[in-house]
Amino acid sequence: MKDGYNVNKSASIQRYPDISSFCEKITVINHHKNKTKINDIIKQTDETSSDINYDLKIIITIPAFNEEETIENVILRIRKSMDNTKYCYNYVILVVDDGSGDETAEIATKAGAIVYSHPENYGLAETFRTEMKLCTALGSDIIVHTDADGQYWSEQIPNLILEVEKGYDLVLGSRFKGTIEYMTGIKRFGNKAFSLLISLLTRLKISDGQTGFRAFTQEVAKGIQIMSSHTYTQEQIIRAAQNNFSIKEIPIHFTKRNNGKSRLMRNPFEYAFRAWRDIIRIFLRKKLKRKNNFN
């Protein structure tokens, strides 16, 4: 892992929901404040063979629940992809363990991640809220979110980061614009239905509103407080559009899961029902607020 985040080893695993004390043990080292524009970096890199020290503080965050079979490989691939990119990013990998009963936290720590563990299983939405609290408290410039199962290729993370550096606030990795090795018919239908609804509500062309592979600025993390009881994916997109944050999709490769099964989503049918309900609530809440402000 590259210099930029100095991690106290005693803070590698924190099993209590005390975010303040957890963050106090992690010191973010600030370098020079002048940031080079992305075009200047590309030009400079083309002219020289040396790496450019790009002063960004990036947190790559992963929610995990009983993912001992996959988490190590995911973390190691992230480290390799970030260390091999032509830009020298200051980054840290943060795993939020949602009360796993296996060795997820221990394995993630040994692989080089910082781990914050919930005392029990809270679910995906609460885990995402914890991720955002930690990332904003640690002062990250860019937050990258990916999954613990390895279906999103870690080698694509630098592509997300570059798009944020070009000026986009929220960058989504779209499976449907890229390639999908395997996805059940039910999931494919559900993803397309949700994406169509999100597109209608936001007046944007969103091909993959369910993707867990995304990058965004600290302003997005601070400005959008997720209210859903079970997920974050659709709500973040809808509310980002409502708050005039710029959104872009890029094509990604989505692979088949080789080990275990998804555990953060307990019941897909219950998830679908609640997601549809929450999407409508989010849209109506914003519409009602605008009406009240107008009156």
Domain of residue 191, residue span: 5-294
Query: In whole angstroms, what is the distance from residue 22 CA to residue 108 CA?
Result: 17
Q: What is the pLDDT of residues 75-131, one digit of tens each?
A: 999 999 999 887 778 899 999 999 999 999 999 999 999 999 999 999 999 999 999
Residue 30: per-residue pLDDT: 32
Q: What is the pLDDT of residues 54-77, one digit of tens each?
A: 567 999 999 999 999 999 999 999
Which residue type, as a one-letter code, is found at position 72? E
Residue whose C-alpha is closest to residue 287's, from 196, 194, 201, 197? 201
Q: 37-43: long-range contacts at Cβ-Cβ below 8 A with a sequence spacing of 24 or more?
A: 38/162, 38/165, 38/166, 41/87
Beta-carbon neighbour count of residue 18 at 10 Å?
A: 11
Query: Per residue of the chain (295 residues), what is the pLDDT tens digit?
Result: 443 444 444 445 556 557 777 777 664 433 322 233 334 433 443 443 344 435 679 999 999 999 999 999 999 999 999 998 877 788 999 999 999 999 999 999 999 999 999 999 999 999 999 999 999 999 899 999 999 999 999 999 999 999 999 999 999 999 999 999 999 998 899 899 999 999 998 999 999 999 999 999 999 999 998 988 878 999 999 999 999 999 999 999 999 876 656 555 556 667 667 777 777 777 776 665 555 554 5
CATH number for the domain harbouring residue 16: 3.90.550.10
In a 10 Å sphere around its CB, with 0-12 CB exposed, 13-18 middle and 19+ buried, how is residue 99 labelled? middle
Q: What is the pLDDT of residues 175-184, one digit of tens each?
A: 999 999 999 9
- Looking at the 3D structure of the chain, how many domains does it have? 1
Query: In whole angstroms, what is the distance from residue 192 CA to residue 101 CA?
Result: 34
